[in-house]
């Protein structure tokens, strides 16, 4: 059993920060939140009542009282640099939320003032760690699809989508030529962060399409705002290689003996029908092969929480001297390409990325 990881949270009253609290509560043997930083006095009291943990008014107060294994930073991108610098100056490892900065100027500052100075910072990019994406990537790594040269991502926006593209295409810091287009129509209003819809009405639906040509490898971006919460639009991801493809949950390929092969990705859940083991995801299979086995079973966590829990596990290993898993260079590259993607969509012009200084620092 892994040793319990102890971490603090800065920005603990925010929407995203609550994920980390729920995960720690669901997995008490693996994670413990030692304290939170919440600037607003009323929200501080609410967090004490809700979670029963120490809540401080400032980072200085938290660090004066505690020495956690690492800090989770869940603040707006524009505010994150100052916090990261303050924590780096004390040698405290940091797991920061995406993106690490809101624009290219900010990304360059993050590189110069943190990465190039050896700051121990990782980024909580969870989308490549979703069970379904881990399973797809595991099948890609069998080699049965051949070299992967095309990926279509219609799952989440901008840097999240780019992170998935680069993961599936095995892209590092290659330059991309990007074209984009926007299409606006109407669709029925659905759920948002505040909850389910309360009124049946049509609202504008902004669909952004972009093509990222990495020179022999193509990433296709297709995202409609709020699509990932919609009841009426589906998410989609396809991976195409020389010998076959993954199309959502279907896998098709042709063997060297010219035999057609087909499999499906199957989610194996416990707690269904007469099964009394509890309700949780056990894993994902393709044929007789387990492509993903849930390391947090039997905790009742949904896919986004499972992915964030994986970030926390890897961060605990990193803070203890283990390897980097998604550092500032990768996060900066995904954010940078996301910025260019947005520019191509907005302007309709072709844009091309340029190699940035963080490209020489992968793994830091």
The pLDDT score that the predictor gives to residue 230 is 87
Would residue 76 count as lying in a domain? yes
Would residue 281 count as lying in a domain? no
Would residue 290 count as lying in a domain? no
pLDDT at 364 over 80: no
Would residue 173 count as lying in a domain? no
Would residue 338 count as lying in a domain? no
Task: Domain of residue 17: give its range.
Answer: 5-126
Q: What is the dihedral of CA 155, 168, 248, 315, to 10 degrees?
A: -60
Q: What's the rounded Cα separation, in Å, for the pair 2 and 19?
A: 21
C-beta of residue 89 within 8 angstroms of C-beta of residue 118: no
Question: Per residue in 189-241, pLDDT tens?
Answer: 888 878 898 889 998 899 999 999 999 999 999 999 888 888 988 999 999 99
Would residue 360 count as lying in a domain? no
Residue bearing tokens 């499972």:
306
Would residue 56 count as lying in a domain? yes
Average pLDDT over residues 81-102: 95
Would residue 252 count as lying in a domain? no
The pLDDT score that the predictor gives to residue 194 is 81
* Predicted confidence band of residue 363 (pLDDT cuts 50, 70, 90): low
CATH code where residue 53 lies: 3.40.50.720
Task: Look at the chain and report how many structural domains it folds into.
Answer: 1
The residue among 273, 268, 274 whose CA lies nearest residue 286 is 268
């Amino acid at each position: 059993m892994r040793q319990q990881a102890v971490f603090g949270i800065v920005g603990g009253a925010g929407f995203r920060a609550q994920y980390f609290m729920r995960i720690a509560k669901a997995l008490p043997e693996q994670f413990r939140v030692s304290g939170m930083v919440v600037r607003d006095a009323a929200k501080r009291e609410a967090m004490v009542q809700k979670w029963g943990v120490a809540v401080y008014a400032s980072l200085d107060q938290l660090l004066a009282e505690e020495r956690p294994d690492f800090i989770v930073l869940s603040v707006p991108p524009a505010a994150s640099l100052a916090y990261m610098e303050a924590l780096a100056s004390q040698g405290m490892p940091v797991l920061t939320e995406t993106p690490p900065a809101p624009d290219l100027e900010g990304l360059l500052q993050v590189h110069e003032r943190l990465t190039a100075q050896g700051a121990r910072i990782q980024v909580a990019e969870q989308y490549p760690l979703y069970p379904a994406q881990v399973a797809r990537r595991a099948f890609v790594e069998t080699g049965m699809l051949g070299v992967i040269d095309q990926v279509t991502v219609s799952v989440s926006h901008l840097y999240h989508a780019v992170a998935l593209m680069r993961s599936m295409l095995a892209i590092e810091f290659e330059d991309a030529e990007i074209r984009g287009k926007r299409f606006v129509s109407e669709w029925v209003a659905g759920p948002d962060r505040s909850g389910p819809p309360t009124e049946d009405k049509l609202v504008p639906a902004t669909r952004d399409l972009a093509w990222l040509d990495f020179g022999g490898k193509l990433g296709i971006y297709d995202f409609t705002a709020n699509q990932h919460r919609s009841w009426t639009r589906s998410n989609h991801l396809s991976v195409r290689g020389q010998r076959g493809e993954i199309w959502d949950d279907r896998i098709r390929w042709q063997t060297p003996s010219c035999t057609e092969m087909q499999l499906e990705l199957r989610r194996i859940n416990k707690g269904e029908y007469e099964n009394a083991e509890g309700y949780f995801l056990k894993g994902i299979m393709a044929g007789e092969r387990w492509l993903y086995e849930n390391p947090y079973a039997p905790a009742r966590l949904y896919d986004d929480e499972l992915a964030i829990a994986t970030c926390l596990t890897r961060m605990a290993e990193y803070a203890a001297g283990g390897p980097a898993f998604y550092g500032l260079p990768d996060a900066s590259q995904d954010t940078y390409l996301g910025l260019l993607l947005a520019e191509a969509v907005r302007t309709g012009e072709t844009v091309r990325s340029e190699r940035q200084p963080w490209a020489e620092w992968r793994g830091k």
